[in-house]
């Protein structure tokens, strides 16, 4: 068995004295693991870092085997990302979510989203909102998509302000008014038709609260899992940065 594909490294762990088991989100083969012999060498280690874009050739005798990777670096992002705490915690959060996907199950939309996210993950003004959007994409890929494009009551796409925790559908400001204590705030940057205005601290907090609610209810708690600890740190960093920018 053999295939070649592009992907983004999301994890690596030592195997034996000199090898590494590499975890990559690939374009056509989903989250896929493989053995890299000599992966702990001084030449290989800089290549096999989370965030790097790579070209992989995977070989195994049988499809169900772990198999071996040959890895070629396409774009190095790790050196840039490692200098930004928001990038480190953001990438760790995304990697933890991607591990909820079945291994080797293709998710091309998530691969593409991750590729875009990596480009901006060290930008404090952009990364938190992009992570929230990625979490929404994760929910959709796992079968729990949110409908944030139109009001669940009127069908109108205008003036959306809240989300129903039961249905995951948006609600307009007028229709939400009598039920504010039962609904989740919908930040403006997630509403269809919003401009390019950078989200403020309240919007970022509402975005993480929204996705966190549905991730816990439908994805994490049924598996007996809690939120990744890196996510809480990411939310804290994002909130602090957003508040500082508003001063």
Q: What is the pLDDT tens value at each position of the chain, 247 positions in all?
A: 999 999 999 999 999 999 999 999 999 999 999 999 999 999 999 999 999 999 999 999 998 899 999 999 999 999 999 999 999 999 999 999 999 999 999 999 999 999 999 999 999 989 999 999 999 999 999 999 999 999 999 999 999 999 999 999 999 999 999 999 999 999 999 985 444 467 888 999 999 999 999 999 999 999 999 999 999 999 999 988 776 666 5
Q: Are residues 88 and 68 in the same domain?
A: no
Q: Are residues 42 and 111 in the same domain?
A: no
Q: Are residues 15 and 127 in the same domain?
A: no
**Domain-terminating residue out of 54, 77, 100:** 77
Q: Are residues 191 and 136 in the same domain?
A: yes
Count the Cβ atoms, other than its own, within 10 Å of residue 246.
9
**Domain-terminating residue out of 77, 96, 113:** 77
SS3 216: helix
The CATH number given to whatever domain includes residue 50 is: 2.40.50.140
The C-alpha atoms of residue 189 and residue 218 are separated, in whole angstroms, by 23
Q: Are residues 44 and 144 in the same domain?
A: no
36 contacts: CB under 8 Å, gap ≥ 6? 19, 20, 21, 22, 44, 48, 68, 69, 71
Q: Are residues 98 and 66 in the same domain?
A: no
The C-alpha atoms of residue 152 and residue 104 are separated, in whole angstroms, by 35
Range of the domain at 68: 2-77
* Segment 194-231, tens digit of pLDDT: 444 678 889 999 999 999 999 999 999 999 999 999 99
The answer to whether residue 160 sits within a structural domain is no
**Domain-terminating residue out of 77, 92, 121:** 77
Q: Are residues 40 and 13 in the same domain?
A: yes
Angle at 46 between CA 40 and CA 47, to 5 degrees: 90
> Global pTM?
0.93
């Amino acid at each position: 068995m053999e295939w070649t594909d592009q992907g983004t490294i999301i994890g690596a762990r030592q195997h034996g004295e000199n090898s590494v088991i590499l975890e990559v989100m690939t374009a056509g083969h989903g989250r896929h693991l493989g053995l890299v012999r000599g992966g702990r060498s001084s030449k290989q280690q800089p290549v096999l870092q989370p965030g790097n874009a790579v070209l992989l050739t995977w070989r195994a005798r049988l499809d169900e085997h772990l198999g071996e990777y040959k890895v070629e670096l396409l774009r190095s992002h790790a050196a840039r990302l490692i200098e930004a705490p928001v990038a480190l915690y953001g990438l760790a959060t995304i990697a933890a979510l991607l591990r909820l996907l079945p291994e080797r199950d293709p998710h091309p939309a998530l691969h593409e989203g991750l590729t875009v996210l990596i480009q901006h993950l060290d930008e404090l003004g952009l990364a938190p909102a992009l992570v929230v959007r990625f979490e929404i994409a994760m929910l959709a890929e796992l079968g729990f998509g949110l409908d944030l494009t139109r009001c669940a009551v009127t069908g109108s796409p205008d003036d959306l302000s809240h989300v129903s925790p039961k249905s995951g559908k948006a609600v307009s400001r007028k229709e939400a008014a009598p039920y504010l204590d039962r609904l989740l705030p919908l930040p403006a940057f997630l509403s269809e038709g919003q401009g390019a205005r950078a989200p403020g601290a309240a919007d970022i907090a509402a975005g993480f609260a929204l996705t966190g609610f549905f991730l816990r209810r439908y994805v994490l708690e049924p598996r007996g899992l809690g939120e990744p600890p890196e996510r809480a740190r990411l939310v804290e960093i994002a909130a602090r940065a957003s508040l500082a920018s508003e001063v």
